[in-house]
Amino acid sequence: MGFVKDWMLVVGGLAVFALVTFQILQGLRKIKFKGPLHLKVHKAVGFTILAAGVVHGTAALLYLYG
């Protein structure tokens, strides 16, 4: 069949969920980073979430239509 399997989408979804949870906890200051490191980590995780979301969405489209 296709290249993208069911379990790949589940793993990708769980990874994006974990990143979003980390981002929320960091934004609420439940996970603390000192000084300018806080913004750097928050920004890096934000870009990682964006990239993971794009990959996950692309994989879902390939699964459905490819």
| pLDDT on residue 33 | 85
Question: If pLDDT is split at 50, 70 and 90, which confidence band does 34 have?
Answer: confident
| pLDDT on residue 1 | 55
**Per-residue model confidence as pLDDT tens digits over 40-52:** 999 999 999 999 9
Query: What would you report as the CA-atom Rg of the chain, rounded to the nearest whole angstrom?
Result: 15
What is the value of pTM for the model shown?
Answer: 0.85
49 CB-near residues (< 8 Å, 6+ apart) = 16, 19, 20, 23
Backbone region of residue 29 per phi and psi (left: phi > 0; alpha: psi in -120 to 50; beta: other values): left
Which range has the worst mean pLDDT, 29-33, 46-50, 51-55, 57-61?
29-33
Specify the DSSP element, H or E, that contains 15: helix 6-27
28 CB-near residues (< 8 Å, 6+ apart) = none
